[in-house]
Structures are given as structure tokens and as C-alpha cells.
Amino acid sequence: MLDHDDFGPEKVITIFNPKVDLHGIVVIDNTALGPGKGGIRMTPTVSVDEVMRLARAMTWKCAMAELPFGGGKSGIIANPKEFSEEKKKELVEAFGEALKQVSPEIYVAAPDINMAEDEMKWFAEANGSSKSCTGKPKDMGGLPHELGSTGFGVFHAAKVGAEYIGKKLKNVTFAVEGFGNVGWFAAKFMTEVGAKLVAVSDSKGCLYNPEGMDFKKLAEVKKETKSVTNYRPGNVMPNKDILTLPVDILITAAVPDLILMSDVPNVKARLIVEGSNIPAKPEVEEALHKKGILVIPDFVASAGGVISSYVEYKGGDEKEMWKLIESKVKRNAQIVLRSAKDKKIKPRDAALEIAQRRVLAKCKTCCTPPSSKG
């Protein structure tokens, strides 16, 4: 039986197309504020449970950012590393065509894992509506996530969080889990203001250099060799070890359910900025909070992408996008951390109170929110 509460999900849709071997999932969690908004991820392990949790995170993310979107998410169960780009295009087009029944009226897609601006072009063209997704190429009026919108927001959330632990970014050490779009740009913006990047990971492993890394050199190594582990100098270790390194700030930027309860005793970072979606379950965050580690939740820290999507959706430009991401992420991070401190609760609980209140204010029918605890 699928988990549900008074907020949603409103629709859980499975898509099958045996002709192209397509198996997809769409979850529209809540549309009180507007059409469900959320990216499409393509991985061999994406599941209904994962998509439901991500869709709920988008409900809160859009509410926190005060955007006219609800929460949604979708997934295509496939491993793009195992087939050609032509096959990937076929799958995305079939998915876009199948979603005509809900998109763009009650679901607006976007890029996510293994999906970028080209895939959004294929999706929109097959769907028949440019409003069916955001993150499209510039020549389609899009603001591609390749501009770095999510990482830019993560950077500003980290800046606010650093102040709460008595640090300035130019004096901190930090680690980035995942060196894809989000991690790449978060590291770029952080190092540009003087923060010292001492650890970074990808699917091949973790590279640790306590003396710090040159971002431009690291980016070149990743591009040329496909892994950050080939950067030198540095020590190569298992990617999960990034959680235990002595840093001021840990930025999560890739794997869901990254931090487990068994990891908590070994986490040394003073601040965790969740640039990835659902990197830890609520009970894990509770344990981190009790340990004195400040955690800025995903739907606050990683809102830059959906804010960019909103600017694209209404026809805005890059200049407006950067300005709006900075103002909204900074403001909401400050509000959440201040509320958490005043009420002596963890930041996620403070953020949930705010997001739920904003959703309920728009609900057409009376509903009682579930407890935000844990």
C-alpha cells in the first residue's frame, strides 16, 4: 500500500510502452499552489517510493520558494550508460508523448539525474507543448540547468549556514559529494570566494587533499578522465568516506539516502548543506541535530533549480534568474535557521512548518497537516 497523507500524493501513474521497452513513473503530489513541478530522473534503480519522496520534497521546495507550483516528480527506469543516445531519445520521446494526459496541465517536468537540456527538447517536442517542461535549450526559450542554478542556490545556502556556525566562507574547508551539475557549480562558486575544497567524490571514489584543490584543474581532470579520483595530489578512497572527513561544511549533491544512521557517529562536518534531494531520512537528520551538526534541508538549499524553472516558465531571462535565486534562497535559509534556533527544533521541522502553512493557505478543502516531527 502506498504511503499517503492529507497533502498527497494526488496521482501515481505508471507508464509502460513495450514497443520501446519504456517503464516510467509519475507522481503528482500536491497541486494546491499550481501544477506539480519536478524533474525526470533516468536510473536503473528509480522506484515508486523514491519518486514519491522526491515529489513530496518538491511540494515543500516550491512552497518554501513561494512559487506557483505544486510538487511532482517522475522517473524512467533505465541505465543510459548501457545504450546509445538514439535509444535514450526514443525513451524520452515516448515518455513525453505518454504524459500528454497530465503535462503541462498538472505536471511540468525538468532535468534531473541523466537528463539535461537536450532531453528536455526531446520531451517537449514529443509532448507537443513548450510549457510541458523547463530546462530547455536557449533556442527554445529555456534556461538550461547547465547554467548552474541549483549549485548557485546551494552556495548561498552554505553562506547563510556558515554564518550560523560562526564562519565566513573564505575561511572554511568543505567537501562535495557528487561532481555532477550541482556539485560542480557549488564547488565553483564556493572556491571563487576563497573556501577551500579538500574533498570531492563521484561514482568512482573520493579524492581527499587537506591542502585544498584547484577547481579549474579538478574540472579539467573530471572532463578528460571522467573521474575526480584522477586529480593529483590527493588520496583516493571509497566514495562513502567523504562523510567522515574533517571539514567545516559537507555539501551533498548526488545520491539519495546517502547518510545512514550508522554514519552519524563518524560525521565530522559542522554544517551539512543538502544540495541533493532526500540525502538522509528525517530520523537521520534528527540524530545529526542531536549531535550538534547543523543541517540545511534539501527543499531549502537546493531550490535554485526550481526557481530557475519558474523564471523560464514565465518568460524571464538569466539576469532575473540569478537575482531571484540569490534573494529567495538566502531569505528562506535565514528564516528557517532563525526559526529553528528560536524554537529549539531542527531546521527541517522549522522549514516544514513554514511550507505546510503556505500549502494549507491555498488548499481548496480543509485539511489537517500531519506532524512535522521526524
pLDDT band at residue 61 using 50, 70 and 90 as cut-offs:
very high
Please check the confidence at residue 371 and state whether its pLDDT lies above 90. Answer: no
Please tell me the CATH code under which domain 149-304+333-352 is placed: 3.40.50.720
Please check the confidence at residue 6 and state whether its pLDDT lies above 70. Answer: yes
Q: pLDDT digits over 164-215, tens only?
A: 999 999 999 999 999 999 999 999 999 999 999 999 999 999 999 999 999 9
Confirm if 135 and 309 have CB atoms less than 8 A apart.
yes
Domains 11-142 and 149-304+333-352 share a fold: yes
What is the spatial distance between Cα 147 and Cα 181, in angstroms, rounded to a whole number? Answer: 9
Q: Point out the catalytic residue in the list 73, 121, 188, 328.
A: 73
- This prediction has a pTM of 0.90
Name 123's Cβ contacts closer than 8 Å, sequence gap at least 6: 40, 92, 93, 95, 96, 109, 132, 133
Name the pairing type of β-strands 40-43 and 36-37. unpaired
Residue 351 in grid coordinates: 522549514
Residue 369 is classified by DSSP as P
Sign of the alpha-carbon torsion through 228, 231, 233, 235: positive
73 is catalytic: yes
Give the domain ranges of the chain.
Answer: 11-142, 149-304+333-352
Domain 11-142 has CATH 2.130.10.10: no
Name 172's Cβ contacts closer than 8 Å, sequence gap at least 6: 162, 195, 196, 248, 249
What is the spatial distance between Cα 123 and Cα 256, in angstroms, rounded to a whole number? Answer: 25
Confirm if 207 and 223 have CB atoms less than 8 A apart.
no
